[in-house]
Amino acid sequence: MTFNSFASATIVPVNIEINKGNKIATMTVQNNDYAPKKFQLILLKRTYKDGIEEYKETKDLVATPVTFTLHDGKIQLIRVALKNTQNYSTKAKDYRIFIKELPRRVKLENSVASTVDLVVQHSIPITISG
């Protein structure tokens, strides 16, 4: 049994490279659960300061759609692109796209919960190179 067997979503590919020959990258997210799921995309630039990994908001990249709902078994295409093509350089730049599963709103009968839903945030590396 693979790790994806336990996952509520399958994401392909698991890393992205954007360069002059590949200006727009695509990836897919598939809902493996029985219920609809909402997702949100968050783009961050990854840097290191004193050997510690840091993430900062960035406007260098754009991803679409920013939020989406997937019904069971459905697939969503995501596009990621560099906003300013002058940002291509010989030194690679590292970013991350976080695909964040948003919690479901469930109406509870008599205010009693019988299950716990886990939400997952996937972190996919994005490399920008010349």
Q: Which of 107, 109, 119, 125 is nearest to 53 (CA)?
A: 125
C-alpha 18: how far from its chain's center? 15
Q: What angle do CA 88, 41, 85 make, to 5 degrees?
A: 15
- What per-residue confidence (pLDDT) applies to 110? 63
Confidence of residue 88 (pLDDT cuts 50, 70, 90): low
Over residues 42-76, the pLDDT tens digits come to: 999 999 899 999 999 999 999 999 999 999 999 99
Which of 78-82, 115-119, 122-126 is predicted least confidently? 115-119
3-104+114-128 CATH pick, 1.10.3720.10, 2.60.40.10, 2.30.110.10, 1.20.1070.10: 2.60.40.10
At 4, is the secondary structure helix, strand, or coil?
A: helix
**Distance between CA 78 and CA 75 in Å, rounded?**
10
